[in-house]
Amino acid sequence: MAEMTQRENIIEVKFLSVFYGQFQALKNVNINVQARKITALIGPSGCGKSTFLRALNRMNDLIEGARTEGQVVFDGKDIFEPDTDLLELRRKVGMVFQRPNPFPLSIFDNVTYGLRVHGQTARGFMEERLFRSLQAVNLWDELQDKLQANALSLTGEQQQRLCLARVLAVEPDVVLMDEPCSALDPTATARIEDLMYQLKEKYTIIIVTHNMQQAARVSDYTGYFLLGELVEFGETDQIFTSPRDRRTEDYVTGRFG
Amino acid sequence: MAGGNMIARHEGSDRLIKISLLVVAFSAVSVLVIITIFIFEQGLPIMMKYGLKNFLLGQNWFPSEKSFGLLPMIVGSLLVTLGALVIGVPLGLASAIFLTEFSNRRVSRFLKPVIELLAGIPSVVYGFLGLMFLVPFIREKFGGSGLSVLAASIILGIMILPTIISISIDSIRAVPDSYREGSIALGATRWQTVRMVVLPAARSGLVAGIILGMGRAIGETMAVIMVAGNAADIPGSLLAPVRTLTSNIALEMAYASGEHREALFATGVVLFVIIMILNFLANLAARKQYRKK
């Protein structure tokens, strides 16, 4: 972490292409992701933004027939190198999914899952991290008395916060969010956005969203994807007020998409 | 008005279908009720006459001398069922986990039907194979006659595999992929994911599979008769012969009459109650802790 603060770009994506069998889902994408900023990826459905996100922690590896070209340099190393420690990569680059997916276990077991997976099972240590990560997602006050309750009994918003706490518990550097608010109502969405704002002091956040207002509200940088291509990438203000590419302008002004 | 008539007609036919389905459902249940009543009616009076305690705790089964102790058979049934589970559950769960989580689709698409085919083999064939290969093997390697608790447990353990495997596969497949993704994305290995998330989520289905396997083991008769030796004594070791409750009925029903015959029905009553208790306990275990949504 300390070393990270020195470097401007935490992730450098170079000529990244992803194929699903014959289909090319991502075409030669280049992005530098800044540390401790929120980067939003927007674009119509099927444009490759989720594929891009899932390349960053190599979750695409799980999809049969997926193939990757190019580089993603994280922590000074290309994550596609054969000697990459995938478990460590995924610890450092955590992920929150579109639909809340807490495990059907207790709240305690959910939040400490990553710690147990990585062998950090000392009781005091787990409780400390549990406290800190639930506090970070503003769930501690609500849940401190029912840590043994089944996580599936929580509301949708609480479940999504819990999933975020589960990621934060292993102290990642980067948090990937794949449309994290799409299953939530507007008030819950607003609260999650507030939360992202608090979290960027410590974490780099990359969020995929189909909601342009959300991208405009929360992000520092925005990338617009279309048909597997990164059409434009830049500071959010610039993308939304003076886009350089005609296609971006059509999309952000609502003429397309 | 015409529309109203149409709706009324539809409601009428709906009700007809509902009633006929109800009749069918009840006739299935009524068979169970009739069997229960019949067994208890035939078996209970003699149990009352000679005392429940003598039946359940008596160690001597000499029907001609009016001695109807069922304890050796009760112990025998529980022992071989336990033995079958000790062998069948780990093997069955391991196969199911391999076929769902670790093998590629082509392998599991080939192996699953093959495993289900195992369930279609008549139990007498299992018994025959046990008698030809397993019993001589045990006799040579471990001593004794080979007709033993061990032989019966192994044969039953193999016989319950298809039940356990196919039900476990179904319940593991029913676990949403989002759980697996969430776990992998936190840096878990595939095995950690299976052990810490998938199996707990599939728990109730897994227990159901084990219950059905257990039911099959405790009810199995023919294969057990062929390899178990059938002495009506409490077995002193895994290599000693054993007689189960089902074997007791099947072996003697052909020539039993009078009180002997009633005592065999009493054996059925005991078997019935044991199965009820085991089912209840297993269901309780399944319901404990986190229930699936």
Across the interface, of A97, A105, A117, the residue whose CB is closest to B290 is A105
Band (pLDDT 50/70/90 cuts) for residue A46 is: confident
Q: Angle B199-219/B161-173 helices, nearest 10 degrees? A: 160
pLDDT digits (tens, 9 = 90+) for B21-45: 999 999 989 998 999 999 999 999 9
**C-alpha distances in Å from residue B248, one per residue of A144, B255, B287:** 58, 12, 34
What is the pLDDT at residue B208?
87
Domain ranges in chain B are 2-50, 61-287
What is the pLDDT at residue A7?
46
**pLDDT of A147 above 50:** yes
Query: Any chain B CB within 8 A of the CB of A62?
Result: yes
Helix (H) or strand (E) holding A223: strand A221-226
Structure tokens at B223: 């294969």
- More confident of the two residues A23 and A1: A23
Q: How many domains does chain A have?
A: 1
What is the pLDDT at residue A174?
96
Structure tokens at B241: 């012969």
Q: B287 vs chain A: nearest CA distance in angstroms? A: 14
Query: Any chain A CB within 8 A of the CB of B198?
Result: no
Helix (H) or strand (E) holding A93: strand A93-96
Torsion angle of the four alpha carbons A32, A34, A35, A40, in this order, in degrees rounded to the nearest 10: -100
What is the pLDDT at residue B280?
86
- Starting from the edge strand earliest in sequence, which strands make up the sheet with A38-42, in order? A93-96, A174-178, A204-208, A38-42, A221-226, A229-235
Flag if B187 and A88 touch (Cβ within 8 Å): yes
Across the interface, of B181, B182, B293, the residue whose CB is closest to A152 is B293
pLDDT digits (tens, 9 = 90+) for B229-244: 999 999 999 999 999 9
What is the pLDDT at residue A257?
54
Per-residue burial over A128-145, b if 16 or more Cβ lie within 10 Å, else e, is ebbeebbebbebbeebee
Rounded to whole angstroms, how far apart are CA atoms B185 and A114? 9
CATH code, B61-287: 1.10.3720.10
Query: Any chain A CB within 8 A of the CB of B186?
Result: yes
Structure tokens at B159: 């016989």
Across the interface, of A97, A114, A150, the residue whose CB is closest to B187 is A114
Mean pLDDT in consecutive groups of 10 residues from the start of chain B, 293 residues: 60 87 91 93 92 92 92 96 97 95 88 89 95 96 93 96 94 95 95 96 90 92 95 94 96 93 95 89 68 40
Residue A257 lies in a domain: no
**pLDDT of A6 above 50:** no
Flag if B186 and A90 touch (Cβ within 8 Å): yes
What is the pLDDT at residue A17?
96
pLDDT digits (tens, 9 = 90+) for A69-84: 999 999 889 999 999 9
Across the interface, of B186, B200, B201, the residue whose CB is closest to A166 is B186
Q: Going by C-beta distance under 8 Å and a sequence separation of 6 or more, which residues neighbour residue B244? A: B73, B76, B77, B80, B152, B218, B221, B224, B228
Question: What SS3 state is found at B278?
Answer: helix
| ipTM of the complex in this document | 0.91
**% of chain A surpassing 70 pLDDT:** 97
Question: What SS3 state is found at A78?
Answer: strand
Domain that includes residue A18, residue range: 2-252
What CATH number should be reported for the domain holding residue A39? 3.40.50.300
| Closest residue in B to A95 (Cα–Cα) | B185
Q: A167 vs chain B: nearest CA distance in angstroms? A: 7
Helix (H) or strand (E) holding A4: helix A2-6
What is the pLDDT at residue A5?
46
What is the pLDDT at residue B9?
67
